A and B are shown apart, each in its own frame.
Chain A
């Protein structure tokens, strides 16, 4: 299968460190202006489809598309229901794409059959904001930061609690660095937009950390 990955350099690097390494894709890095020759590829993976308009809908391509869809649902990304048969949405964020499996949603069984035949380590999940693992992890990190604000606790104290009291694989700081606090905030904001601010309150400290992460 001729595979192309499109996205910013840092996102592509993260993908290639993980599951993308075995796909051996060609790469098209934003903001490249030269067309990669869209019709040459069987599968095109857009790592930032949920952050900026995907070229998928403006180019005429026969390809099957894999859209990043943690910050928006796959359904909301598609301009027309007919697209459902030729794409899936996946969690391809840093920190998640290093897993040996691909967490993805599909709106059509035809699309899922095609994708899972190409990537046998895929796990089908419902088409929800954050899918499953990014949703759970983002909420966990946000809760820790809410508590930090409520009780004037330092991140260092929370890191100790997470690592030594919960035996989690990483501390909050480590996770923030691996995933990127701005991605965590984007998921929380998407959850708020889908539900309500009362259901998913956002920690002020998360906004600060995300703002700092975006600047650096």
Chain B
């Protein structure tokens, strides 16, 4: 199997490793040299299965072309439009998105019957679930091929509706939003809430998890789900999160969020 991945960020690299570890041949493209430098370790690990490139080839006769660029609608649409003249006649094109509308991304694509969403979870090599999000324009056989292909590389695909947050990010929202709502009252600390939820068997309480994900990233997903569902009160984004973002305390990646971190963490 030949797979072309666009975007060598955390998700692109993780997905490349998933395919390479299953003997697929993977091309990982990113126009930014810094991103490719970070991906070099993967080439060292799978020298016969991963190649890096900073140039988008004129032809992409691959089985799968997967876009994993940052979660911005316009950026993703530009990338997907660039593929129109390059892909083969039976190439499946997928977008790795956690919350953007797949129908919105598909609009205007000449290959939309071969286009659908695949949502991998971070870290992609370890998380088995992949949400498969077909649009109304996706050919049924492309959805079926996607499911078999993902099973063949050891993943557990589930078909998810193209609704804001799909399945996983939608279900998880109250875990964050309601915890924030309680913390906003001021009479209970994030640390206590985390302790109670971790006592139930959750690996991380909501605040520790938001720090890991990135408070800004988590806030943006909530914002998208809230807007996409036409502003239900229960998903109203939190002012406490907005204040953290304004203060630059976006979580573990900067050493400060709801908790303080040693830089070595």
Contacts and interface: CB of A to CB of B under 8 A. Distances in A.
Nearest to A163: B129
B254 interface: no
Interface stretch (A60-68, A73-81, A136-144): A136-144
Contacts of A168: 201-202
A120 interface: no
Given A99-B200, A103-B196, A157 B161 contact: no
B171 A125 contact: no
Contact of B200 (A158, A164, A169): A169
A213 interface: no
Q: Which interface class (under 10, 10 to 19, 20 to 34, 35 or more) fits A?
A: 35 or more
A172 B11 CA distance: 27
B163 interface: yes
Contact of B167 (A99, A132, A137, A153): A153
A143 to B, nearest CB: 5
Contact of B168 (A126, A128, A161, A198): A161
B220 interface: no
A189 to B, nearest CB: 15
B197 A147 contact: no
Given A139-B174, A143-B173, A164 B202 contact: no
A143 B171 contact: yes
A138 B263 CA distance: 36
B151 interface: no
Interface string B206-249: 10000000000000000000000000111000000000000000
Most buried by B among A101, A157, A168: A168
Given A132-B182, A165-B129, A96 B171 contact: no
A158 B170 CA distance: 11
Contacts of A100: 199
